[in-house]
Structure 1
Amino acid sequence: MNKSISRNLTLSLIIVVTLVSVTPIFISYIRSSREAMRELEARASEYATSIANMLSHPLWNMDKSAINQIGNFYFSYADIEKIKISDDLGEVYLDLKKGRDEPLIVKTSEVYHGGTLVGRLQISLSEEKVREINKRILFAGLLTIFIIVLSMVIMTGFLLRRFLKNPLNALSAIVDSYSSGNSGPAAYDMPFVEFKPFVTVLKDMRNRIDLQMEQLQKSHNELERRVEERTKELAESEEKFKILTEKSLVGVYLIQDNIFQYVNAKAAEIIGYSVDEITGKMSVKDIVFDEDVHILEENFRRRFSGEVDSVNYEIRLKRKSGRIIYSELFGSRMDFRGRPSIIGTFIDITERKKAEETLREKARLEDERRNLLEKERMLMELHDGLGGITTNISLLAELASNSSRTEEMKKLIETIAALSKEGHSEVRTFMQGLDSKGTDWHTLGAELRKQGISMLEPHGIAFDMALSLENAEEQPGSLIYINLFRIFKEAITNIIKHSEAKTVNVALGLAPDKLTLAIKDNGMGEKRGKGRGISNMKVRAEEIGGDLNVTFKNGTTVCLEVPMPLKYPDRAVN
């Protein structure tokens, strides 16, 4: 439907007038309805008071006949729907109801005789008269709105035709005159004063259009000349492109609709076909290894969807002889003859892939050699650690067998038990380190927590450990597992022996750039004794490429930092 100013203006005025008219009518309706309800409630109160006064003596004398006579008399009133009379003890003398199911105004009154409660009265009045009054008011309001709206439509139609449509028709005639190429009427001949500026603007616009048309013709002639020159340059560029590609050392191709529209001699040589066998005949999928077709299709999709402009990727190709070769392709999206196409280059990288595979095999063998050396070194440490423990156990067992005193034998056996427990811990630590493939950072944290609790609780020292593992995908190697565990155990041992601490707090953190282990106690700090513990911990930190610092302020803090990713010094695995 076409838009109409007069229709929209008329509808707008009707809506405004309707809204303005509805408001006072609605307010009057609400006010009248409330007034009618107040009158009805006042009438109900008057009825209740009058009937209560008349029932005072009959209720006092228990005159049921008089009570029924008074009740039936008032029940005959049209607006009384229900009347109920009972004595002070609740015995009902009269209960009348007309049976109409509608809203009621209910009034309850107590009946007194000489100041004594002798009964109760309840009457209910119908709201029907109030609703009738409301209906009349509503009908009158709607009729008023209809008359106002009808009058407004008639007046608006007349005024719009006189003061809007006639001027617009005159203005349309003026515009048609200018659009047909005529000069149009002069500004002083306008039927309405308001049209004079508009006619002036139309004349200026017509002059500008004529000038622009002249300039457009000149531009068109210049564009034709440039197109002719560009066509010649393009033909020369195509000739240069062919010369360049035919002498290129890489394969050049142009694909449209999955068909090779162009390949140079080098491209044909790489896949073992002639240029004529490929151009305009072969699909690109014909030369791609079946298992790699999905790679080709995905890269086509990304370029044609506009996700990327160009891609560089590796893919396997099938030569005419059936031999599979590796190729590296580069291709960009372009428009060729007004349609989307792919242009790019590719080279044969089969020999390079073979060399890379050889290097990877060498690296794998080198990793295996380093892992064997690392495990041999850890086994030597295990041998040295357990060797000292077993030697001590053997000597203590010999002393116990030669001792005749029960107390001395008990102490020796307790010492042997402690050494056995320490040996078990050593074996467990090294077994976890050797099985590094099944160990992650969370497992390492759990083992450290377990070790700390088992070492500190017998001495009444509280232990707490916090883990922050942001980069826990990479597993800890055997070497870092063993050395981290050794540093932790050495630090806890020093706290037990020297610090007189009550609490120990440990924090293990793994971030993308570094690994941190902080062990802090609230003991003696700088007053603690000196030994080889700190130097041993620093040596172990250096073995995994880390740095260990010890500070003595409000207790002792041992802080280990290892750069990530882990890069061990050569001596750590030799």
Structure 2
Amino acid sequence: MRGALRLPWWLHTLHAKLMLSLVLLISLVAGSSAFMLLERAQARRLMEVEERANRIADLFGQSLAQPLWNVDREAIVRQIKALAPNPEVVRFTVTATRYGVLADASNAPQPPPPETIVRLRPIGFTPQGDAPREQIGEVRVVLTKAVTERNFAVARTAVLATLALMLAVLYIATFLLIRHLVRGPIGRQEDMVDRMASGDLDARCMVESSDELGRLATRVNVMAERLGDSTASLRESERKFRSIIENSLEGIFVLDRFHLALTNQL
């Protein structure tokens, strides 16, 4: 058929079609599940970074109150440098209301805004006596998402590689299993049917199981037996007819419909 879809040569067998269907199904299910799980895990990791930024900002908002009230730059720098080596830290900035920036520690150039988490916390101090609490400055905490995303990319690659390896192992195991359970019996039945078609009516399919292939082999054997019986009957009828013709003392001729019509016209 001219407009029919032509399949590649390697898809002309049932084994190849089954394996292709299985690979597509498993890849779709496993790929979608892995994608959803990885996306959820990444969102959870980024949420943890935001929570760390909140905790660090809250901690500095409390611990820097006394040094900032005393304008003790060294104490402030010591505190912020204690957390500065963290690879997620981009910048810590402590600003006093009256003196401006007192301390600024950074690990790397600040990335674009979508890759950073910024937290601002006011720093308040309550003097001794009845003096009201007043805001004496603020701390600015900047963390980056790049470290988490980079680590997660490595983990994602490892997960996908493991998934691909599992799919390859499953494919090989299923390939061998289907070849043993399906392709082998079908091939043997094809050989028996070819022998029957070539005239060997004594050939029989081996019934190896009780499943669909086994029932098909049984039906093919029944068909072969009936075909053998029919052939034997035809041969017996031919032998009798030939005996009648050869032993007849009178002339015998065969008249078909064409010659009968031609005789009537004449």
Structure 2 gaps, min length 5 = 1-7, 127-132, 208-213, 235-255
- 1:39 alignment counterpart: 48
Contact 2:53 / 2:141 at 8 angstroms: preserved in 1?
A: yes
Structure 1 pair 72–147 and aligned structure 2 pair: CA distance change class (3 A): closer
Q: Which amino acid aligns with 2:118?
A: V
Contact 2:67 / 2:73 at 8 angstroms: preserved in 1?
A: yes
Q: After TM superposition, give the deviation of residue 51 of structure 1 in Å.
A: 1.9
Q: Secondary structure at the match of 2:119?
A: strand
Structure 1 pair 131–155 and aligned structure 2 pair: CA distance change class (3 A): same
2:23 to 10, 14, 18: 14
1:191 to 199, 206, 219: 206
**Separation in 2, partners of 1:63, 1:73:** 16
Contact 1:87 / 1:120 at 8 angstroms: preserved in 2?
A: yes
Q: Secondary structure at the match of 1:84?
A: strand
Structure 1 pair 180–43 and aligned structure 2 pair: CA distance change class (3 A): same
Contact 2:188 / 2:205 at 8 angstroms: preserved in 1?
A: no
Alignment of 1:42-57 (within 5 A): 42-57=51-66
- 2:120 alignment counterpart: 108
**Separation in 2, partners of 1:152, 1:201:** 39
Q: Secondary structure at the match of 1:107?
A: strand
TM normalised by structure 2 equals 0.64
1:175 paired with 2:217, answer no
- 2:139 alignment counterpart: 121
Q: Which amino acid aligns with 1:111?
A: I
| Partner deviation per Cα, 1:17-39 (whole Å, 9 max, x = no partner) | 33343455444423432332233
1:130 to 148, 164, 173: 148
| Partner deviation per Cα, 1:334-374 (whole Å, 9 max, x = no partner) | xxxxxxxxxxxxxxxxxxxxxxxxxxxxxxxxxxxxxxxxx
Q: Which amino acid aligns with 2:125?
A: H
Q: Secondary structure at the match of 1:106?
A: strand
| Partner deviation per Cα, 1:66-95 (whole Å, 9 max, x = no partner) | 555555554444321022333347944445
Q: Whose RCO is larger (CA < 8 A, sep 6+)?
A: 2
Structure 1 pair 63–173 and aligned structure 2 pair: CA distance change class (3 A): closer
Structure 1 gaps, min length 5 = 212-220, 233-574
- 2:92 alignment counterpart: 83
| Partner deviation per Cα, 1:153-175 (whole Å, 9 max, x = no partner) | 22122222222222122221222
Q: Secondary structure at the match of 2:92?
A: strand
TM normalised by structure 1 equals 0.33
Alignment of 1:228-267 (within 5 A): none
**Separation in 1, partners of 2:257, 2:155:** 80
Structure 1 pair 63–10 and aligned structure 2 pair: CA distance change class (3 A): same
Structure (1/2) with the larger strand percentage: 1
Structure 1 pair 20–223 and aligned structure 2 pair: CA distance change class (3 A): farther
Q: Secondary structure at the match of 1:85?
A: strand
When Rg is computed on C-alpha atoms for both structures, the one with the higher figure is 1
Q: Which amino acid aligns with 1:117?
A: Q
**Separation in 1, partners of 2:226, 2:45:** 71
- 1:277 alignment counterpart: none
- 1:153 alignment counterpart: 171
**Separation in 2, partners of 1:225, 1:31:** 88
Contact 1:83 / 1:122 at 8 angstroms: preserved in 2?
A: yes
CA RMSD of aligned residues (A): 3.6
Residue correspondences, number: 215
Q: Which amino acid aligns with 1:39?
A: E
Q: After TM superposition, give the deviation of residue 104 of structure 1 in Å.
A: 1.4
1:200 paired with 2:222, answer yes
**Separation in 2, partners of 1:224, 1:113:** 127
Structure 1 pair 204–50 and aligned structure 2 pair: CA distance change class (3 A): same
1:99 to 81, 98, 109: 109
Structure 1 pair 153–78 and aligned structure 2 pair: CA distance change class (3 A): closer
